[in-house]
Amino acid sequence: MPTEFVPGKPDAYFPKHKFYGVPMYGSYHRIEECRLHHYVGPAATIEKAVAAYVLTPEHLWATFQTEAEDLIRVNGAMDGNWQERNRRINAAYAKLWLADNRFQWAGLAAFASKQVGCTILHAKQTVARSRRERENLELSFAAAFPGAEAAAGVQAGTEAGAAYAHDRLGFGNEHLFLDIYPLHRFFMERGWKEFSDYLPKRQNKKYPVYWNVDRNVLPFGTPFQEIRDGFGRIEGGNVADSVNLLARHEQVNILQAIMYNDRVMQQLLDANQYAVVTGIPTGDAEKVELTLSAQCKAKEGFTLPFSKDKHAKLWVAEQRMRFVRRAADAFNKLLNGPQRSRVEESIRTIAAGGGVA
C-alpha cells in the first residue's frame, strides 16, 4: 500500500521536526525559556518585556538546508570523498520515497544518483589504472624506445580526463542534492500552502549555506517555476507529471548550469560516447545508462541506455531530457506493475547504504 508522510507521527526514516506544530511567525520557545529584557518606554521610563523567538520562513528553510548539509558532510568537510558522499545522497533520496511514495522523483533519483556513483567509481578506477600503467612505462626498459613518450602521454591524458570527470560528477551530485532535498523536506513537513507561499523566502542572506557555485552562474535557492509546478502536481495527485517537471528542474536549471555547460566536460562526454558505441580506442569508456536496481549492472528490463548514436550528446539538455523521460516512464510502469516489490527492495537496499557495486 502506498505510503504518505504525516508530520508529527512516528516515521521510520525521519524524526519529528523540532518546529512541528509551531505556526509560522509564532514563538517556538516556552515562556520560561525566554529572557527578560529592559527597554526604554514612550515616556523615557524603563520597562520590562520578554523577547520572543519567532519562527520565520527563512529560519525554517535554514533548518532543512542544515539537515541536508549534515547528511553529506564527510569528516567535517563538504568537498572530496565523492564516493562516500554519493552513497549518503543515494540513501537520502531513497528514504524520501520510502517515507512518502508521492515523491516519485526522489525514488527515481535514488537510482540515477546511484548510477552517478557507478560512474564516479569507474572514473576513480580509470585514474588509478592509467597512473599505474604510465608509471610502469616510464620506469620500464621500453621507455628508451621510440614512441614510449607518446604512449605515456596517452595514459597521462586518460588519467587527467578521468580525474576531471570524477570531480565534476561529484560536484554536480552534491549541489543538486543541496538544492532539491530541502525542497522535499519543507513540503513534507509544512504542506503545499506554506511551501507555495514561502518558496521565495528560501533565497536569503540571513543564514549561511554551503553553495560552492559561482552566484553569477546559479544563485542559491532560485525559485524556478518548475519547482512550484512539480510540487503542485504532487499536491494535486498527478505524481507522474511531477517527476517530469522536477526532472526538468534538476537537469536544465541546475545540472546544465553547473556541469554540462563546462566545455571540458562536454568534450569528455563526447569522447566517451564515441568510444562506447564504436569500441574505439580502449576499454576506458563507460556506458551511459540507468539501471533501476541497486547494482550498477542489472538484467534486461531494468536497464535503459542513453543512445546508440556515436554522435549523441549527453550534455545537450533536450537529448538528455528524452533519456530522463524514458527512465521516468519505465520507473512509473514498474511501480504500477508486478515488479513493484522488486523495485522497492532495491530502493530499501540503497536506503541502507547499499548499491554501487
357 grid coordinates = 557495486
* Cβ-Cβ contacts under 8 Å for 249 (sequence gap 6 or more): 180, 224, 226, 227, 230
Residue 247 lies in a domain: yes
Return all residues near 242 (Cβ < 8 A) that are at least 6 apart.
102, 104, 105, 230, 231, 233, 234
CB 109 within 8 A of CB 115: no
More confident call, 246 vs 27: 246
Q: In whole numbers, what is the pLDDT of the chain averaged over residues?
A: 87
Number of domain units in the chain: 1
Distance (Å, whole) CA 130 – CA 127: 5
Q: Which residues lie below 8 Å from residue 165, measured CB to CB, with a gap of 6+? A: 119, 123, 265, 268
Asked if residue 16 belongs to a domain, the reply is: no
- Cβ burial, residue 39 (10 Å; 0-12/13-18/19+): exposed
Is 9 a domain residue? no
Residue 312 lies in a domain: yes
Give pLDDT, residue 133: 64
Task: Let me know if residue 45 belongs to a domain.
Answer: no
Confidence check: pLDDT of 109 > 60: yes
46-50 vs 36-40, strand pairing mode: antiparallel
3-class secondary-structure state, position 42:
coil
The three-class DSSP label of residue 311 is: coil
Q: Is residue 215 part of a domain?
A: yes
User: Which whole number is the average pLDDT over 310-317?
Assistant: 95
Confidence band (pLDDT; 50, 70, 90) for 152? Answer: very low
The pLDDT tens digits for 223-244 are 999 999 999 999 999 999 999 9
d(CA 56, CA 50): 18
Residue 298 has phi, psi (to 5 degrees) of -140, 165
Supply the pTM of this predicted model. Answer: 0.88
**Between 138 and 80, the higher pLDDT residue:** 80
pLDDT band at 145 (very low <50, low <70, confident <90, very high): very low
In a domain, 31, yes or no: no
**165 residue type, one letter:** A
Please report which confidence band the pLDDT of residue 123 belongs to, taking 50, 70 and 90 as the band edges.
confident
- Give residue 224's identity as a one-letter amino acid code: F
What tens digit of pLDDT does each residue of 324-346 get?
A: 999 999 999 999 999 999 999 99
Q: Which domain covers residue 187, as residue numbers?
A: 57-351
The whole-angstrom separation of Cα 241 and Cα 105 is 10
